[in-house]
């Protein structure tokens, strides 16, 4: 099983905006082309900075929309979002994103039952 995870640093505003539609944006007009992941991933994990500085949620990727235009974002559409309890602490800040695996994050197995529901972010 490919357990590649992209850990994405996310601000409070991004959390409230983009994730309410279960979409994660990489690159685009406000970021450098290097802010677009070159590799696909099955999961996107979300790092939130101070005060907790931890990975708090894991998203299961449904599909990926790549844009050849450097001014447009690549969009990772998620099937669902899982709150990690407890969050995974990070010893260092994460810039745009980094690659890892479920095993490196200490997650041994992800078992999900998916159902369509409205998700509210706080």
The one-digit pLDDT tens for each residue of the chain (122 residues) are: 478 999 988 877 777 776 778 988 888 766 555 678 888 999 999 998 877 789 989 999 999 999 888 788 899 999 988 888 889 988 777 877 889 998 888 887 655 444 455 555 44
Q: Which two tokens stand for residue 45?
A: 């994990």
This prediction's pTM: 0.79
The reported pLDDT for the residue numbered 51 is 72
Residue 13 region, left (φ>0) first, then alpha (ψ -120 to 50), else beta? Answer: alpha
Non-local (6+) Cβ contacts of 28 within 8 A are 35, 71, 72, 73
Look up residue 28 and give its DSSP letter: S
Q: CA 79, CA 89: separation in Å to the nearest integer?
A: 24
């Amino acid at each position: 099983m490919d357990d590649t995870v992209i850990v994405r640093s996310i601000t409070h505003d991004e959390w409230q905006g983009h994730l309410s539609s279960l979409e994660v944006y990489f690159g685009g007009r406000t970021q450098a082309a290097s802010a677009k992941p070159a590799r696909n991933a099955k999961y996107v994990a979300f790092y939130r900075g101070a005060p907790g500085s931890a990975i708090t949620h894991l998203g299961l990727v449904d599909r990926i929309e790549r844009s050849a235009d450097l001014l447009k974002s690549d969009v990772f559409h998620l099937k669902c979002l899982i709150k990690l309890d407890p969050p995974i602490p990070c010893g260092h800040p994460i810039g745009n994103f980094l690659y890892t695996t479920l095993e490196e994050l200490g997650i041994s197995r992800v078992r999900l039952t998916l159902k369509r529901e409205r998700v509210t972010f706080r």
